[in-house]
Structure 1
Amino acid sequence: MSLKTAEPGADRARRGTPAGRRSGLARLGPLPWIAPAVLLILLVVLWPVYEMVHTSFLRISTTGFVRGSAGFDKYTKLFDEPDFVPVLGWTLVWTVVVVVLTMVLSLALAQLFNQQFPGRRLTRWALIAPWAASVLMTAIGFKWMLDRTAGVLNTALTDLGIIDGPQDWLGDPGSAKPWMVLVAVFVSLPFTTYTILAGLQTVPAEVYEAAKVDGTGP
């Protein structure tokens, strides 16, 4: 009995790995693997946020030199702006609408792409296009498409007789806001769709078969 009790300690001694050190590394779990991603997030996301907040309390010249502390003067000026509340309200509305539309459309597209149909691979590639292009390129493309004088949209709608003449889509807030929502949804769809699709494809086929047996509907 004593020999059996001493075996684990002797085995650890032969390997040269203390039990406390092994348990300490084991407690870290997946942290060593996700540490590079966490560091990247800290560097790319949180550090610019810190710099932005820090800079907001400084008085900086037009040439980029720091002229001392500005205190809360910038925030006081910001909150005194008459358009601050309307802009903040529109930003909240824009965020909610974009998130809801993106999730609903992405869920529908993911369900579609999870089915077998002719041309599925081609449609999947087509959906990647907005994601492959940078946000700047997409914004410039839509800006030229919606241009009042040389925009493709005005030309097409005028030729089809839908509108009487060129419209200033981006100059009028009533038409610019919906287009801002549509462009944001267009850019966000690929990533959200493929994320949901990846989750759907991990569901075993037996789950769907069991659901059909139990009489589950679409």
Structure 2
Amino acid sequence: MESSELAPRTAEWLAEVLQRTLAGGGRCSFALSGGKTVGPIYRILAGMKLPWERVDFYFADERCVPPDNPESNYFLAEETLFRPGGISLQQVRRMEGEREDRDAAARDYEALLPPVLDVVLLGMGEDGHTASLFPGLASVEEKERKVLAVVGPKPPPWRLTLTLPVLNAARHVLFAVAGEGKRDAARRVFSGEDLPSGRIQNAVWIMDRAAAGQ
């Protein structure tokens, strides 16, 4: 698909899954990501008439910066989804990346997570990372912890991230991937190379033509 189609198609997929999850009358947990690709998706979602009051928002990862820092994934979601969509911040479980004790922040976030996330939106970096799970780091092999404080190769280095056990347990996972810079990583994932993004099982991928290549 063309790049201009990615955000509408992704928003439609997410809206359909959210509505299906909420059809039973309960609540839905939705974990968000950051990055350039997701902002337009959030803006479209914010304009949709969905029962947002029954959605609880979480984060797949967060940079260790204050929530009003433009580098913050929370800041992006607040600017493009929460505020435009009229979503109460009482429904938002924010990763407190600005805390000095990052491990305590990670453990406290573990306690906030539901047993299983309903919907997770992920992106992929040019190195094949997803959330803040970077290739070659011990955090990719974590089997017990649900949230870790990690140091990544990209600034700002310190991050909080959900781990693979949490992401693989989620009921619905969607990758939204755009841009020619992601093409090589996508090729490597789909050829079976062991990259963090390729470790997410049963995920749906929506990619634009530039990322998908042939």
**TM-score interval, smaller chain:** under 0.3
Report the TM-score when normalising by structure 1.
0.20
Larger strand share, 1 or 2: 2
Larger helix share, 1 or 2: 1
Greater relative contact order (CA < 8 Å, ≥ 6 in sequence): 2
Report the TM-score when normalising by structure 2.
0.20
Structure whose CA Rg is larger: 1
